[in-house]
């Protein structure tokens, strides 16, 4: 049974069994425009909350995606190396960015649910 959280930085986390899959929201991909490159972390990398985890590059600019909680990267979406546009076409599906093992699940408590997130972008 998974649960999905959101952040005010327009990221989503789907948490299942202590592992979070992280990506950016549809709103964020729309703001960024067509992505042409995604710089992913190495599996095994430890991320503190607020660390730059991923850099997404659109035609004209590069933007940071921050680790919303502390943890260790267990897997990255290597499909994005050949097709970064998956983040545009399926930001909350096939365009996920990385998976991380959570260091402290209590950090999830400060995050938003879908309803609260939608209110921030309304």
Partner 1 sequence: MPRNRHACNFGENMGDDKTLKHLPLEAMHEEAGARFGAFAGWRMPLTYPAGVMKEHLHTRQQAGLFDISHMQLFAVEGDGAAAFLSRVCPLDAAALGEGKSKYTLLLDENAGIIDDLIVTRLGPSRFVIVANAGNAARDEAHLRKVAEGFDVRLEALDRALLALQGPAAEDVLVNAGLDLSDLTFMTAVEPREGWFAARSGYTGEDGFEIALPPDAAPRLVEEILADERAKWIGLAARDSLRLEAGLCLHGQDLSEETDPASAALLWAIPKNVREDGGFIGAEALARIRADGIKEKRVGLKPEGRQPVRSGATIVDGDGRAIGRVTSGGFGPSVEHPVAMGYVEKAHAEAGTRLYAEVRGSRIAMDVHPLPFTPHNYRKG
Query: Could you tell me which stretch among 12-20, 59-67, 98-106, 109-117 binds partner 1 (CB under 8 A)?
Result: 59-67
Q: Interacting stretch for partner 1, rule CB under 8 A, among 41-49, 61-69, 99-107, 110-118?
A: 61-69
Shortest gap between Cβ of 110 and partner 1 (angstroms)?
18
Q: How far apart are CA 48 and CA 31, in angstroms?
A: 26
Q: Write phi, then psi, for 119 (nearest 5 degrees).
A: -70, -30
Asked if residue 122 binds partner 1 (CB under 8 A), the reply is no
Beta-bridged to residue 73, according to DSSP, are: 100
DSSP 4-21: EEE-TTSEEEEEETTEEE
Asked if 48 is part of the footprint of partner 1 (rule: CB under 8 A), the reply reads: no
64 contacts partner 1 (rule: CB under 8 A) = yes
Residue 108 CA to its chain's centroid (Å):
14
Residues that bind partner 1 (CB under 8 A): 9-11, 24, 28, 31-34, 36-37, 39, 55-66, 81, 84
């Amino acid at each position: 049974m998974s649960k999905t959280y959101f952040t005010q930085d327009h990221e989503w986390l789907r948490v299942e069994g202590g592992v979070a899959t992280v990506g950016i929201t549809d709103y964020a991909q729309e703001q960024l425009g067509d992505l042409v490159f995604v710089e992913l972390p190495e599996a095994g990398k430890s991320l503190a909350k607020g660390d730059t985890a991923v850099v997404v590059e659109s035609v004209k600019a590069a933007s940071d995606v921050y680790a919303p909680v502390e943890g260790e990267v267990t897997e990255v979406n290597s499909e994005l190396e050949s097709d970064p546009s998956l983040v545009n076409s399926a930001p909350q599906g096939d365009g996920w960015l990385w998976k991380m093992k959570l260091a402290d699940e209590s950090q999830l408590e400060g995050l938003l649910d879908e309803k609260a997130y939608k209110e921030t972008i309304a």
